Amino acid sequence: MSYLGKSQLSLPLKSLFFSIATIAALPQIFSLNRFRDARDHIYKMIREIAGASLSLRAALQPDPPDAVVVFLSSSIIVTLLTLLIFRIPIPVCCSDRIFLSQEKRNLRYPGIVSLMLRVLYRRVQRYIAVSEAVGQDMASSFGVPSEKIVTIYNGVDIELLRRLAFAPPEHTDLGELRSDVFTVVSSGRLAVQKGHDLLLQAFSRMRRELPCRLVILGEGELLGDLERLAVGLGIADDVTFAGWQENPFRSIASADLFVLPSRYEGFPNALLEAMALGLPVIATDCPSGPAEILDGGRYGLLVPLGDPESLAAAMLTLARNSAKREEYARRSSERAATFSLSRMVASYEALLDDLVAGGRNLTT
């Protein structure tokens, strides 16, 4: 394994990129501050892409690989630009791991990224979608040819998760949660995408109906906002922001219910991991992943996106009905077993064999 740093750029290249960034920022000329800000941001983006591209080119030159598999948009852009500009005939398989048409809205210049991806994805031999809906989104929103898209669901190592769930407690985790109060758990980065604000609103409605506790595992930029929301809703004493944990599975396995309140996903591993630990689950029917994992609601409850009242009603339904909770816990374990790690690995091996075979006829 090697880490690719960013190559230093020559002064002529820096000058060229600064000129390009200046031209690209001209639409902001009506405001001098916004013009400078846009120019500096675009220049930094071009410089970083160019530096990473040169570093990647150097790594590929001595002993070119049979194929390249690349994940996440920034790495995909760098890799495809490198192979295109330097005319390196290596087959490429890429995967964004997220519902990209939603994710790009958080970027500063989503239009530029969309245009780049539409052009560059034509160079891809295969695109791995982590869900069927992600594949459809890439075809409709970014022009990836449907015949190049292969869906490979993420796998889960059930035995490992269960060992971790019963591992000795660490000083940083919550250990066994209280058994005398109904406990809801959620896990994920504290960001707008993950919808924890919706979960807090739903939990406040649930808390008015029965004693319960909410534990949120994860850290992120919205911690302060979410803590203030919990105070404003009057539920701060019943909500624990547990932060990042090296082994979150003890805490998850000790809860009574797992909730995924996301606004969008790709394929939510946290949901599948909770199911592998035998928890009944509730998820928003967001793009994408939950509906496919839960088979439209057969293996867990699906609630409308952005609807705290429906989420609260679903949480209360399972909290008040132990028989239904047990049934969905059984279904969770049954469903998680179909997303085995060995099945995912076999799918990747078959894809790479096909990619390498096709790459033998690849030309520049």
User: What would the DSSP string read from start to end of 214-250?
Assistant: EEEEB--TTHHHHHHHHHHHT-GGGEEEEE--S-THH
Determine contact, residues 180/254, Cβ cutoff 8 Å.
no
Is the per-residue pLDDT at 175 higher than 50? Answer: no
Q: Angle 269-276/322-336 helices, nearest 10 degrees?
A: 110
Least confident of 16-20, 211-215, 241-245, 309-313: 16-20
Residues 33-48: tens digit of each pLDDT: 777 777 776 777 777 7
Least confident of 89-103, 228-242, 312-326, 332-346: 89-103
Determine contact, residues 297/332, Cβ cutoff 8 Å.
no
Is the per-residue pLDDT at 288 higher than 50? Answer: yes
Least confident of 55-64, 110-119, 340-349: 110-119
Average pLDDT over residues 163-169: 84
Residues 179-236: tens digit of each pLDDT: 679 999 999 999 999 999 999 999 999 999 999 999 999 999 999 999 999 999 999 9
Beta-sheet strands, E only, within 58-207: 68-71, 92-95, 126-129, 149-151, 182-187
Domains of the chain: 9-54 (no CATH), 66-155+347-364 (3.40.50.2000), 158-339 (3.40.50.2000)
Is the per-residue pLDDT at 364 higher than 50? Answer: no
Higher pLDDT, 115 or 135: 135
Beta-sheet strands, E only, within 108-230: 126-129, 149-151, 182-187, 212-217
Distance CA 335, CA 338 (A): 6
Distance CA 243, CA 245 (A): 6
Which one, of 15, 64, 62, lies nearest residue 43 by Cα? 15
